[in-house]
């Protein structure tokens, strides 16, 4: 019995303590809601599911920039607003819950800004951060390759040192938004592979996507929509001042970049607009499946509290890797569950041709669902991280 | 924001609670009088009660820490009943709080002056209590053991859930009018306490499973080395994390706004629902990982898993609490749903 007690004490904290939003958050939330109501009243866009992948709307993004709602955590001297990650949390969760088109700035705002603040040079910050905060500069993520998915360290894109910089040759895939974006961080092998230390010899480069030698080809999603791309480098020159961080430190940098990716509200709100429409549908039909609906609401509330706890702990300088993986595993499964419960409760079939409303939201949610549990590290890989945290591997 | 001062106070309390409950852990049945004495001596038995009711004036977040440890170690004491329910109800009705372990139940007693009669069902720990506090339609009544005829009953975890018959007179100081709002708060407090215990028991079952997976060897290696087992334990860990998050978020809400604030009512309902749902998933995986040995009386896994099964249906099942939340969500309508989830109208 004593032994079990020891294990209990040694089990890691699976979730950080609860985080309360600062009192000023209420006013900020009110402003964002008022703006969204105004946009909706003007018919500027229709609420959609999975907007952070598919809702590319540069006008909307610039509107957010002009209101100070992009690059919020970037310091003022770089055009940002020096706000806390919790302020950014409030803004992003409101936008996602409303199904607003946030894809254009999503990557730049979520991870490029913070990563440049962490690893970028002064010149790189000056060059990109003000445009990110204005909603005028868009970024992609150049990690995955045909033979490097979950096993990211297997990337083969080669970076060879040449006079004044590096030459990149290789292929990136699944690059969301590369056909619109200005640049991305490419993870490449800058030193030959060492089987004893697979994570060594990797580096990150800021590649401007209009550089000579960059070819971008669409990879249509199963719906036929164009979000994914293949990005081919054929001897693309990257000057020394566009190396991100340190040569050889790519793995450490990428891992810290992924920390921003894992536990935010986008990991459980991709289908929230469908849940909202479901409530409308139930009211219209006069049906009262309280238990099933309540289950979705209590689980959502819990996920949000967990995600906020991780955000609060990130803000105090901790890196709760295990908790972040748990939020993403549970949250992305929850996004699928909303679809399952909606189908259980309402007989309306999905209609991909509808302008908006329940049938269209259901169609988009069903067709996008496979991506929820793959992007940003598959759920199986996340559970591997949790198992390591538990001391099992 | 995370609060470093409160976090460290909580860490100390957690250590104290861990050691107190771990020392007492064992497979016995019935009331653990020795543990109760320690809880009394350390002030944990009446943690949230005010000083003038013999309490330690702790917060509900403190209570969450202590109850989670009690659940994890399958403590055999009426902690929720004494502190969160009976003590609070007596104190708010203006009845002196007696010493010793107490219990409380909402029931239909006929009360006429000081004359009381009726039958109370599934009273937690009635056979061990120094006083049974009854919340009736219009009164709070304190019954000493001498007024009760108790017939033993039990829940799935063999915890006492007794039938108590009462007929006779009580002292005038043992009856009071039911304070306004007390019935609703009683229900919320019971669910709150149960949710904390559930979160703890879930963690206890996970800890036992992780440990067992590291010890049990098959095919020449510990079963925890197999990815299939790792993935199952990671799923269990996610359920435990989510149960703990819900329970502690409810504790934070109640600490901030008491039980009557709308946000607290929602948080308690959601926490009991979520911990109740997690209970089944965690117990299932814990037993699967333990194989046949965990299915025996000899093995201690049952102490947490049977509690998970019992407690998820007590003080409102997940289905019942989710039904309340669902009704509120429909009443809020499409535009009110998100404000409801964020607690910001
Ligand atoms: C919508 C979407 C957007 C994306 N956007 C981008 C982007 O902008 N930039 C970018 O770089 N990448 C992007 N990706 C790629 C994404 O990061 C990869 O899909 C992901 O890392 C998984 O790699 P894979 O698809 O090659 O699958 P694989 O790694 O081949 O995995 C296939 C299956 O095997 C399982 N598996 C693999 N290894 C293990 C293991 N060790 N243990 C157990 N199971 C395992 C996986 O869980 C999965 O079920 C995007 C993906 C999607 C779906």
Considering the domain boundaries, does residue A62 fall inside one? yes
Residue B191 has pLDDT above 50, yes or no: yes
Q: What region does A202 belong to: left with phi over 0, alpha with psi -120 to 50, or beta?
A: beta
Residue A266: active-site member: no
The CATH number that applies at residue A343 is: 1.20.140.10
Q: Are B323 and A391 a contacting pair at CB < 8 A?
A: no
Considering the domain boundaries, does residue A3 fall inside one? no
When CB atoms are compared, the residue of A17, A301, A316 closest to B248 is: A17
Q: Which residues of chain A have pLDDT under 70?
A: 1-9, 259-260
Cα of B181 from ligand 1 centre, angstroms: 53
Q: Are A392 and B341 a contacting pair at CB < 8 A?
A: no
Residues 33-92 of A with CB under 8 A from B: 86
Ligand 1 neighbourhood includes A380 CB (under 6 angstroms): yes
Number of compact structural domains in chain A? 3
When CB atoms are compared, the residue of B319, B324, B341 closest to A300 is: B341
What is the Cβ-side half-sphere exposure of residue B231, based on CA atoms within 13 angstroms?
7
Measured from the Cβ of residue A149, the count of other Cβ atoms closer than 10 Å reads 16
CA distance B335 to A355: 20
For residue A106, give every residue at least 6 positions away whose Cβ sits within 8 Å of its Cβ, in sequence order, or none. A52, A266
Together in a domain, A71 and A134 = yes
Ligand 1 neighbourhood includes A138 CB (under 6 angstroms): no
B218 — phi, psi (to 5°)?
-140, 150
Beta-strand pair B102-106/B131-135: parallel
What is the Cα gyration radius of chain B? Answer: 21
Considering the domain boundaries, does residue A4 fall inside one? no
Together in a domain, A214 and A245 = yes
CA distance A90 to A93: 5
Cα of A376 from ligand 1 centre, angstroms: 7
Considering the domain boundaries, does residue A184 fall inside one? yes
Ligand 1 neighbourhood includes A125 CB (under 6 angstroms): no
The pLDDT of B2-19, averaged and rounded, is 77
| Domain boundaries, given as residue ranges, for chain B | 4-177, 182-342
| Among chain A residues, CA nearest to B213 | A392
Ligand 1 neighbourhood includes A371 CB (under 6 angstroms): yes
Ligand 1 neighbourhood includes A230 CB (under 6 angstroms): no
CA distance A98 to A365: 15
Together in a domain, A257 and A382 = yes
pLDDT on residue A317: 81
| Among chain B residues, CA nearest to A273 | B334
Q: Are A344 and A292 in contact (CB under 8 A)?
A: yes
By C-alpha distance, which of A215, A202, A123 is closest to A166?
Answer: A202
CA distance B253 to A294: 19
**Is domain B4-177 classified as CATH 1.10.540.10?**
yes
By C-alpha distance, which of B199, B183, B177, B239 is closest to B69?
Answer: B199
Copy the structure tokens of residue B257: 């706004």
Provide the b/e sequence for B73-93 (b: ≥16 CB within 10 Å). bbbbbbbbbbbbbbbbbbbbb
Write out chain A residues lying below 8 Å of B2, CB-based. 16-17, 19, 312-313, 315-316
Measured from the Cβ of residue A77, the count of other Cβ atoms closer than 10 Å reads 11
Residue A26 near chain B (CB below 8 Å): yes
Q: Are A301 and B267 a contacting pair at CB < 8 A?
A: yes
Residues 90-109 of A with CB under 8 A from B: 93, 97
Cα dihedral value A104, A108, A111, A117, nearest 10: -170
- pLDDT, one tens digit per residue, over B71-130 is 999 999 999 999 999 999 999 999 999 999 999 999 999 999 999 999 999 999 999 999
Name which residue sits closest to atom 53 of ligand 1, judged by CA: A371
CA dihedral (B219, B225, B226, B228) positive or negative: positive
pTM of the shown model: 0.96
Beta bridge partners of A214: A233
Together in a domain, A81 and A174 = no
Name which residue sits closest to atom 52 of ligand 1, judged by CA: A375
Q: Are A165 and A212 in contact (CB under 8 A)?
A: no
Strands, sheet with B161-169, edge to edge from the N-terminal-most edge strand:
B110-112, B115-124, B161-169, B148-151
Cα of B90 from ligand 1 centre, angstroms: 58
Considering the domain boundaries, does residue A59 fall inside one? yes
Together in a domain, A213 and A320 = no
For residue B131, give every residue at least 6 positions away whose Cβ sits within 8 Å of its Cβ, in sequence order, or none. B86, B98, B100, B102, B103, B142, B143, B144, B145
For residue B40, give every residue at least 6 positions away whose Cβ sits within 8 Å of its Cβ, in sequence order, or none. none
By C-alpha distance, which of A31, A28, A49 is closest to A99?
Answer: A49
Write out chain B residues lying below 8 Å of A321, CB-based. none
CA distance A218 to A226: 6
Ligand 1 neighbourhood includes A53 CB (under 6 angstroms): yes
pLDDT on residue A1: 44
Q: Are A301 and B270 a contacting pair at CB < 8 A?
A: yes
| Among chain B residues, CA nearest to A323 | B241
Looking at A228, A249, A270, the residue that finishes a domain is: A249
Together in a domain, A169 and A284 = no
For residue A317, give every residue at least 6 positions away whose Cβ sits within 8 Å of its Cβ, in sequence order, or none. none
Ligand 1 neighbourhood includes A373 CB (under 6 angstroms): no
When CB atoms are compared, the residue of B237, B246, B266 closest to A14 is: B237
Q: Return the HEC string of chain A.
A: CHHHHHHHHHCCCCCCCCCCCCCCHHHHHHHHHHHHHHHHHCCCCCCCCCHHHHCCCHHHHHHHHHCCCCCCCCCHHHCCCCCCHHHHHHHHHHHHHCCCCCHHHHHHHHHHHHHHHHHCCHHHHHHHHHHHHHCCCCEEEECCECCECCCHHHCCCEEEEECCEEEEEEEECCCCCCCCCCEEEEEEECCCCCCCCCCCCEEEEEEECCCCCEEEEEECCCCCCCCEEEEEEEEEEEEHHHEECCCCEHHHHHHHHHHHHHCCHHHCCCCHHHHHHHHHHHHHHCCCCHHHHHHHHHHHHHHHHHHHHHHHHHHCCCCCHHHHHHHHHHHHHHHHHHHHHHHHHCCCCCCCCCCCHHHHHHHHHHHHHHHHCCCCCCHHHHHHHHHHHCCCC
> Shortest Cα distance from A164 to chain B (angstroms)?
46
Measured from the Cβ of residue B2, the count of other Cβ atoms closer than 10 Å reads 16
Write out chain A residues lying below 8 Å of B266, CB-based. 301
When CB atoms are compared, the residue of B72, B246, B256 closest to A8 is: B72
> Shortest Cα distance from A380 to chain B (angstroms)?
7
Orientation angle between helical segments A58-66 and A25-41, nearest 10 degrees: 140
For residue A293, give every residue at least 6 positions away whose Cβ sits within 8 Å of its Cβ, in sequence order, or none. A278, A279, A282, A341, A345, B322, B325, B326, B329, B330
Write out chain B residues lying below 8 Å of A11, CB-based. 203, 206-207, 210
Together in a domain, A309 and A290 = yes
Residues 280-339 of A with CB under 8 A from B: 280, 282-283, 288-295, 297-306, 309, 312-313, 315-316, 323, 326, 329-330
Q: Are B249 and A26 a contacting pair at CB < 8 A?
A: no
pLDDT on residue B3: 57
Quote ipTM for the complex: 0.95
Together in a domain, A96 and A149 = no
Q: Are A166 and A205 in contact (CB under 8 A)?
A: yes
User: What is the DSSP secondary structure assignment for residue B49, as one 8-state letter?
Assistant: S
Q: Measured from the CA of A378, which atom of ligand 1 is nearest? A: 47
Write out chain B residues lying below 8 Å of A280, CB-based. 333-334
pLDDT on residue A2: 47
Q: Are B322 and A294 a contacting pair at CB < 8 A?
A: yes
Cα of A371 from ligand 1 centre, angstroms: 9
When CB atoms are compared, the residue of B238, B248, B266 closest to A330 is: B238
Together in a domain, A50 and A109 = yes
Q: Are A283 and B334 a contacting pair at CB < 8 A?
A: yes
Superfamily of B182-342 according to CATH: Butyryl-CoA Dehydrogenase, subunit A, domain 3 (1.20.140.10)
User: What is the DSSP secondary structure assignment for residue B126, as one 8-state letter?
Assistant: G
Helix (H, G, I), strand (E, B) or coil at B95: coil
CA distance A288 to B330: 8
Domain enclosing residue A232, as ranges: 142-249
Copy the structure tokens of residue A256: 């810290």
Write out chain A residues lying below 8 Å of B341, CB-based. 297, 300-301, 304
CA distance A197 to A348: 54
Looking at A217, A249, A281, the residue that finishes a domain is: A249
Together in a domain, A159 and A181 = yes
pLDDT on residue A316: 85
Together in a domain, A298 and A311 = yes
């Amino acid at each position: 019995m004593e032994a079990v007690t020891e294990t209990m004490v040694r089990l890691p904290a699976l979730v950080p303590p609860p985080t309360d939003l600062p009192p000023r958050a209420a006013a900020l939330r009110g402003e964002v809601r008022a703006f969204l109501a105004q946009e909706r009243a003007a018919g500027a866009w229709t609420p959609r599911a999975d907007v952070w992948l598919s809702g590319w709307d540069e006008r909307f993004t610039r509107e957010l920039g002009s209101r100070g709602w992009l690059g919020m955590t970037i310091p003022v001297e770089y055009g940002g607003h020096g706000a806390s990650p919790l302020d950014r949390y409030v803004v992003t969760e409101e936008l996602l819950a409303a199904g607003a088109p946030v894809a254009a700035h999503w990557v730049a705002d979520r991870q490029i800004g913070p990563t440049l603040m962490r690893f970028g040079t002064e010149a790189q910050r000056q060059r990109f951060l003000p445009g990110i905060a204005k909603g005028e500069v868009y970024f992609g993520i150049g990690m995955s390759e045909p033979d490097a998915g979950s096993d990211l360290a297997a990337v083969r894109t080669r970076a060879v040192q040449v006079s004044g910089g590096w030459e990149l040759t290789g292929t990136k895939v699944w690059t969301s938004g590369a056909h619109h974006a200005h640049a991305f961080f490419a993870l490449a092998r800058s030193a030959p592979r060492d089987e004893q230390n697979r994570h060594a010899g990797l580096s990150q480069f800021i590649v401007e996507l209009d550089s000579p030698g960059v070819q971008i080809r669409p990879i249509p999603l199963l719906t036929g929509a164009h979000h994914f791309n293949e990005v081919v480098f054929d001897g693309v020159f990257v000057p020394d001042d566009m190396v991100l961080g340190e040569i050889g430190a790519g793995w450490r940098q990428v891992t810290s970049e992924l920390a921003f990716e894992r536990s935010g509200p986008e990991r459980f709100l991709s289908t929230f607009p469908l849940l909202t429409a479901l409530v409308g549908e139930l009211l219209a039909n006069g049906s009262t499946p309280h238990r099933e609906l309540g289950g979705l609401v209590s689980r959502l509330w819990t996920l949000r509290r967990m995600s906020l706890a991780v955000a609060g702990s990130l803000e105090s300088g901790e890196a709760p890797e295990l908790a972040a993986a748990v939020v993403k595993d549970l949250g992305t499964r929850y996004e699928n569950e909303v679809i399952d419960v909606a189908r259980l409760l309402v007989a309306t079939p999905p209609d991909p041709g509808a302008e908006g409303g329940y049938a269209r939201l259901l169609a988009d949610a069903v067709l996008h669902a496979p991506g929820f549990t793959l992007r940003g590290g598959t759920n199986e890989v996340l559970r591997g991280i949790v198992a390591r945290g538990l001391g099992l591997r | 924001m995370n609060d470093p001062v409160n976090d460290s106070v909580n860490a100390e309390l957690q250590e104290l609670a861990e050691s107190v409950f771990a020392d007492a852990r064992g497979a016995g049945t019935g009331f653990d009088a020795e543990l109760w004495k320690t809880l009394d001596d350390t002030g944990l038995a009446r943690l949230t009660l005010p000083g003038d009711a013999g309490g330690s004036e702790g917060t509900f977040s403190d209570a969450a820490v202590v109850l989670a440890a009690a659940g994890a170690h399958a403590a055999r004491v009426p902690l929720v009943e004494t502190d969160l329910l009976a003590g609070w109800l007596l104190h708010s009705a203006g009845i002196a709080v007696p010493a010793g372990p107490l219990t409380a139940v909402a029931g239909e007693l006929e009360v006429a002056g000081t004359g009381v009669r009726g039958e109370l069902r599934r009273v937690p720990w009635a056979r061990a209590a120094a006083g049974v506090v009854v919340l009736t339609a219009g009164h709070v009544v304190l019954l000493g053991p001498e007024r009760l005829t108790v017939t033993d009953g039990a829940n799935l975890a063999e915890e006492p859930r007794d039938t108590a018959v009462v007929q006779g007179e009580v002292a005038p100081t043992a009856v009071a009018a039911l304070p306004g709002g007390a019935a609703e708060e009683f229900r919320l407090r019971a669910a709150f306490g149960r949710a904390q215990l559930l979160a703890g028991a879930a963690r206890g079952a996970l800890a036992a499973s992780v440990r067992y997976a590291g010890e049990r060897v098959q095919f020449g290696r510990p079963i925890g080395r197999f990815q299939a087992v790792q993935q199952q334990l990671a799923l269990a860990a996610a359920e435990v994390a989510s149960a703990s998050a819900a329970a502690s978020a409810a504790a934070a809400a109640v600490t901030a706004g008491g039980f009557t604030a709308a946000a607290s009512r929602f948080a308690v309902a959601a926490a009991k629902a979520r911990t109740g749902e997690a209970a089944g998933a965690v117990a299932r995986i814990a037993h699967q990982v333990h194989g046949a040995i965990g299915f025996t009386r000899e093995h201690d896994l049952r102490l947490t898993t049977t509690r998970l099964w019992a407690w998820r249906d007590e003080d409102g099942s997940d289905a019942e609490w989710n039904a309340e939340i669902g009704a509120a969500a429909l009443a809020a309508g499409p535009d009110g749903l998100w404000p409801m989830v964020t607690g910001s109208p």
